[in-house]
């Protein structure tokens, strides 16, 4: 069987990436044109066009994928590997979701359906900044195009007869792919909107909590094997020497942090609005960032040391942490230029930077991304507790400090214990995520109820 790449698909994927970059800078571009005297109507047309372009380009690829299955075009590798000349309509539909490549492209389809639906009914959800939704979607879609969209889905074959899979295997693969695409696709499609969701009502805060718990459960209970055909039931450090086994699963798990991040941003905003920065703010900022950096290095090292040498760990850390730290520090500096009015804007930028850097780092090098999640969760927790422990303010009572110190100690102790005792990465991430939310809810309950203007 001679397999060749589809130049058609490669061109459209490249154009899609370009469209994402244009959408990423859409706000700045429109501000520039506004200064040149462009009318609001023209600017709105440009905004709609840039938002629709990535969706339109992917729709062309999906229609081609759908057409090749429904009309049995055996020049497409995915069709030849799953269907026969007399395959029923049922089997053709099943094949759309079959295999890790089929599940992946259908996952991206669900992401777009959810994202577009929320855009059409944007008045149902109070959003802080629509341009930020475009930026988060651009980042998400770039990762999907470069890390999730499988090249073999659009590969072509020459001079070969189809070699279809057994019907029972096709049916089983369809079920796994359907559940995976709906489960992961729904939460990832909602993610850019959740990042900018106003949480000024009890219902919206409950929505953020539900989103976080749902995403965490998908990390542990979700059918990740539908996206990683050779993945083991348990992801442990021994598999880290086989990047092709866990690469796609790693990217999905890292992207599921989109479900947790909005809730942590809410905690940070609530903390800043109820307890403005007091004395020793700079000291609290520095310690929070340094301890967050230490947690990334320390927890990755103790997790991988039994299987990797220390030299190998630190070499990979340099490569992996570079985009994380670069973006984190850049986001820390942006608020100092007057781009953020929160009480502790640098720490808000630090959280954004850690999150964005970790996502991008999963594409550059997925070997350490799973182990970095443990340090990432602790880094977020530190950024929300250290300032209260270090700063001095009439609003920060001794009781609040004791609560924050106790929860921080419990989280650090649990993190070290789980990573040393257990090597099941999915379980460790699941437990630490759940515990971090519970402890932050406890801390949040101790803050003053009346918001300070």
Q: For the segment 383-423, what is each residue's pLDDT rounded down to a tens digit?
A: 999 988 998 888 888 888 999 999 999 999 998 888 777 66
From first CA to last CA, the distance across the chain in angstroms is 68
At residue 364 the predicted structure's pLDDT band, cuts being 50, 70 and 90, is: low
Strands 2-4 and 156-158: antiparallel
Please check whether residues 267 and 404 belong to one and the same domain.
yes
Residue 451 lies in a domain: no
Place 162 in a pLDDT band, splitting at 50, 70 and 90.
low
Same domain assignment for residues 194 and 241? no
Residue 322: which residues within 8 A CB-CB, separation 6 or more?
A: none
187-204 b/e (C-beta count within 10 Å ≥ 16 → b): bbbbbbbbbbbebeeeeb
> Which single residue is written with the structure tokens 């949480």?
199
Average pLDDT, the chain: 83
257-274 helix and 167-195 helix, angle to the nearest 10 degrees: 20
Same domain, 10 and 63: yes
**Residue 253, Cβ density class (10 Å: 0-12 exposed, 13-18 middle, ≥19 buried):** buried
Report the pLDDT value the prediction gives residue 2, as an integer from 0 to 100: 67
Q: Residue 153: what pLDDT? A: 66
Same structural domain, 54 and 155: yes
Name the residue with higher pLDDT: 86 or 330: 86
389 and 267 in a single domain? The answer is yes
Quote the CA–CA distance of 262 and 248 in Å, as a whole number: 23
Of 168, 198, 228, the one marking the end of a domain is 198
Where a domain ends, among 198, 225, 257?
198
Query: Are 249 and 189 found together in one domain?
Result: no
> Considering the chain, what percentage of its residues have pLDDT values greater than 90?
32
Report if residue 64 sits inside a domain. Answer: yes
For 363, the domain range is 237-445
Are 286 and 187 in a shared domain?
Answer: no
Average pLDDT over residues 142-146: 91
Range among 181-185, 270-274, 366-370 rated most confident: 181-185
Residue pair 285/388 in contact (Cβ under 8 Å)? The answer is no
The whole-model pTM stands at: 0.87
Check residue 445 and give its pLDDT.
87
**How crowded is the C-beta side of 114, counted as CA atoms within 13 Å?**
21
**Res 17: pLDDT:** 92
The answer to whether residue 256 scores a pLDDT higher than 80 is: yes
Based on the fold, state whether residues 258 and 393 are members of the same structural domain: yes
Same structural domain for residues 180 and 286? no
Q: What is the mean pLDDT of residues 282-310?
A: 81
Burial of 219 (0-12, 13-18, 19+ CB in 10 A): buried
Residue 241 has pLDDT above 60, yes or no: no
| In a domain? residue 216 | no
Q: Is the pLDDT of residue 106 over 50?
A: yes
Answer whether residue 203 is part of any domain: no
- Considering the domain boundaries, does residue 220 fall inside one? no
Q: Is residue 230 part of a domain?
A: no
Section 137-145 average pLDDT: 93
Total structural domains within the chain: 2
Ranked by mean pLDDT, the top range of 46-55, 233-242, 246-255 is 46-55
339 has a pLDDT exceeding 70: no
Closest to 437 in 3D by CA, of 124, 245, 213: 213
User: Does residue 262 carry a pLDDT above 90?
Assistant: yes
- Judge whether 208 lies within some domain: no
Give the pLDDT confidence of 214-239 residue by residue, as tens digits: 999 998 888 887 877 544 444 444 44
- pLDDT grade, residue 201 (50/70/90)? confident
pLDDT of residue 410: 93
Percent of the chain with pLDDT over 70: 85
State whether 82 and 189 are in the same domain: yes
Band (pLDDT 50/70/90 cuts) for residue 240 is: very low
Domain finish residue from 151, 175, 198: 198
Q: What is the pLDDT of residue 280?
A: 82
Whether 272 and 376 share a structural domain: yes
Residues 6+ apart with CB under 8 A from 225: 176, 231, 233
User: 300 and 422: one domain?
Assistant: yes
Q: Is residue 231 part of a domain?
A: no
Q: pLDDT-based confidence at 181, cuts 50/70/90?
A: very high
Q: What is the pLDDT of residue 336?
A: 59
């Amino acid at each position: 069987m001679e397999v060749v790449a589809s130049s058609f698909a490669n061109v459209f994927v490249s154009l899609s990436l370009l469209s994402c970059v244009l959408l990423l800078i859409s706000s700045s571009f429109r501000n520039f044109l506004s200064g040149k005297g462009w009318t609001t109507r023209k600017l709105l047309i440009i905004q709609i066009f840039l938002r629709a372009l990535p969706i339109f380009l992917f729709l062309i690829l999906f229609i081609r994928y759908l057409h090749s299955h429904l009309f049995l075009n055996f020049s497409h590798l995915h069709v030849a590997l799953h269907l026969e000349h007399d395959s029923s309509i049922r089997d053709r539909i099943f094949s759309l979701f079959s295999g890790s490549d089929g599940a992946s492209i259908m996952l991206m389809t669900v992401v777009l359906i959810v994202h577009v639906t929320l855009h059409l009914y944007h008045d149902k959800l109070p959003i802080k900044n629509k341009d930020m939704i475009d930026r988060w979607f651009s980042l998400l879609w770039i990762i999907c195009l470069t890390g999730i969209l499988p090249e073999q889905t659009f590969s072509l074959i020459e001079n070969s007869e189809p070699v279809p899979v057994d019907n029972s295997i096709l049916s089983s693969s369809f079920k796994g792919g359907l559940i995976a695409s709906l489960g992961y696709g729904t939460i990832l499609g909602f993610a850019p909107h959740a990042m900018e969701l106003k949480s000024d009502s009890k219902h919206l805060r409950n929505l953020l909590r539900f989103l976080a718990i749902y995403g965490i459960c998908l990390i542990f209970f979700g059918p990740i094997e539908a996206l990683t055909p050779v993945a083991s039931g348990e992801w442990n450090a021994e598999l880290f020497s086989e990047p092709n086994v866990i690469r796609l699963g790693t990217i999905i798990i890292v992207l599921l942090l989109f479900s947790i991040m909005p809730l942590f941003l809410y905690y940070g905003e609530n903390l800043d609005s109820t307890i403005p920065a007091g004395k020793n703010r700079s000291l609290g900022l520095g310690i929070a960032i340094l301890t967050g950096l230490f947690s990334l290095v320390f927890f990755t090292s103790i997790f991988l040391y039994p299987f990797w040498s220390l030299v190998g760990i630190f070499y990979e850390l340099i490569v992996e942490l570079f985009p994380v730290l670069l973006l984190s520090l850049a986001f820390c500096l942006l608020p100092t230029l007057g781009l953020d009015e929160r009480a502790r804007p640098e720490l808000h930028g630090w959280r954004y930077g850690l999150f964005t850097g970790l996502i991008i780092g999963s594409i550059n090098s997925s070997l350490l991304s799973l182990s970095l999640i443990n340090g990432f969760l602790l880094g977020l927790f530190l950024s929300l507790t250290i300032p209260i422990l270090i700063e001095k303010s009439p609003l920060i009572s001794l009781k609040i400090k004791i609560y924050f110190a106790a929860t921080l100690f419990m989280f650090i102790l649990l993190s070290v214990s789980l990573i040393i005792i257990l090597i099941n990465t999915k379980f460790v991430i699941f437990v630490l995520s759940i515990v971090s939310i519970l402890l932050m809810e406890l801390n949040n309950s101790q803050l003053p109820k009346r918001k300070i203007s």
